[in-house]
Amino acid sequence: MEQEEKKTEQQSESRWAGTWQQEIYHELKLLVAVLAVVILVFQFAAQLIVVVGSSMYPTLHDGDLLMAVRIYGELETGDIVVVHKETDLIQETIIKRVIATGGQTVELDYDNNTVYVDGVRLTEPYINLNDLPPEDEGDPMLPKGDIARITVPEGSIFVMGDNRNHSTDSRFSYALGLVDEGYVIGKAVFCFWPVSHIKGLED
C-alpha cells in the first residue's frame, strides 16, 4: 500500500515538474517572439530620440525620450520632425516643428509675433509665450536669423522651434536654412519619459 502511494506521489510530482517546465518553455518562447518584434520595429519603423536643449520648450523638455517613426507619406505643417543635417554650427540630431512644405510661402511678422503660410495666419498654441527669460523682454518671437519671407522649394521643409527666441532653425540660412526631406530621420509621435511628460505628439 505504501509503495503504491509513493509511486502515485512520484508520478504526480513528475507531472507537476513537466507542466512547470512546459509553462516556462512557452513563456520564454513568447518573450523571444516579443523581443524579436520590438527589434524589428525599431530597426525598420521607429527609433528612440533624446531631446537635447530647450528649442522645443514647452512642448518638449531637455532630456525627454521620444519615439520617432519613419515617414510614410507627406509631411504636414505642425509635424514634429527629427532632422540630421550637419552644418558648420549644427552637428547633432535636432528636433523641430514643420512650418511649411514644398511650394508654400512663409512670412514672419515679428511685429505681431505671427507666422503666415500662403497668406494664412498659423494658429500656434504650442509656442513658448509664458516662460520667457528677462532678455526676451516679454516678446515670444524676437527678430532672429536672416530669413523673413521665403518660398519653400519642392522636396524641402521650413522648420522652427516652439521656443522661438532660443532655436536655431530655418530662419538662419547660414546655420540650418531650408531642410531637404532627405535629412528627416522621422516624425516624433510620442513622448514616454519622464512619466510626468507622457503624451502623444500628433494633432
Cite the active site residues: 55, 96
C-alpha closest to that of 172 among 199, 150, 139, 140: 150
Are 64 and 193 a contacting pair, CB within 8 Å? Answer: yes
C-alpha closest to that of 146 among 124, 168, 127: 168
CA angle 187, 40, 159 (to 5 degrees): 10
* CB crowding 75-111: b at 16 or more within 10 Å, else e: bebebbbbbebeeeebeebbbbbbbbbbebebebeee
Distance from C-alpha of 51 to C-alpha of 38, rounded to nearest angstrom: 22
